[in-house]
Amino acid sequence: MRGAGALRGKAAVSPQSSAATSTRSDASSRAKKVKKERGTGKLPAPVLPDGLRDRYKEKVEAKLHASSGHPVTFVPGNWSTVVFVAVRCTDEFSALVQEVLTEATRLVPSLTPVAPVGGGLHISLSRTIFLKAFHVDKFNDALKEGVVDCKRFSISFTRLSCYVNDDGTRSFLSFDVGAGHADLASALSRVDAAVKKLDQPTFYEDPKFHASVGWAPDKAALDDRIADELDVKFAPRLSEFSFYVTEVVCRTMNRDFKFPLRA
């Protein structure tokens, strides 16, 4: 009798009923967690399949190799960063660049044009460095503070030259800067100071400022012989153009941060 009374006082729970209750409880907990994270603006980070993550890594490394001129290992959370001044090309100058590339391709069939930056060429003021996302603002603040006293200036190109990247895997056809070299060196000193604050490698000791227009996948493909032949034909026309530099640009996090020079 006591056993029957105990059953009447506390209803028996079936295994199926217990499992269903547990499932509902788990679902409710997950829903509350997601709701809480949404309330703070945070959602659980998606997990990419290994194959997709590897393909993304390869794609990013190929892009970094193309832009920096040397193999780069992609590290999640690191942003490739480069500082430069832009050369805005007029239609007439763009036509001259195309003539140079056409003739250079005849001499070196493996030549590939360098992709334009913002509709023109660029002159590097830094190596390709890598910054954590939380360092980007600090770096940009240091850049802004450094170049704020630099005055705007004009540059021109004097001749064609060939360069080889650091690891000897590519050669580049470039226009060397003539007028404006001292102004670029002054801006470079400010950029180097910002780079040093984050313990990143500074630019080359004896910089030869240039704008690359083409590259080839062999350090011997583009050499002084090619440069001299092209220089004889195009340097007189090249030196006729002048360009006004009004800002320094930092490209990082898939964005361009622009720092105006003093008028």
- How confident is the model over 49-97, as pLDDT tens digits? 666 555 545 555 455 445 444 455 556 678 999 999 999 999 999 999 9
Query: For 234, how many CA atoms within 13 A lie in the half-sphere containing its CB?
Result: 27
Residue 157's pLDDT is 98
Q: pTM score, two decimals?
A: 0.73
Q: Which two tokens stand for residue 7?
A: 């059953």
Q: At what angle do helices 133-147 and 181-196 cross, to 10 degrees?
A: 140
Coil, strand, or helix at residue 163?
A: strand
Residue 168's pLDDT is 87
Residue 20's pLDDT is 47
- Burial class of residue 157, CB neighbours in 10 A (0-12, 13-18, 19+): buried
pLDDT, tens digit only, all 263 positions of the chain: 444 444 344 444 444 444 444 445 555 555 555 454 455 555 555 555 666 555 545 555 455 445 444 455 556 678 999 999 999 999 999 999 999 999 999 999 999 999 887 778 999 999 999 999 999 999 999 999 999 999 999 999 999 999 998 888 899 999 999 999 999 999 999 999 999 999 999 999 999 999 999 999 988 899 999 999 999 999 999 999 999 999 999 999 989 999 999 99
Considering just the CA atoms, what is the radius of gyration of the chain in Å? 29
Strand-pairing partners, residue 243, are 155
Residue 78's pLDDT is 87
Neighbours of 88 (CB within 10 A): 13
Kindly state the DSSP code that residue 84 receives in the 8-state scheme: E
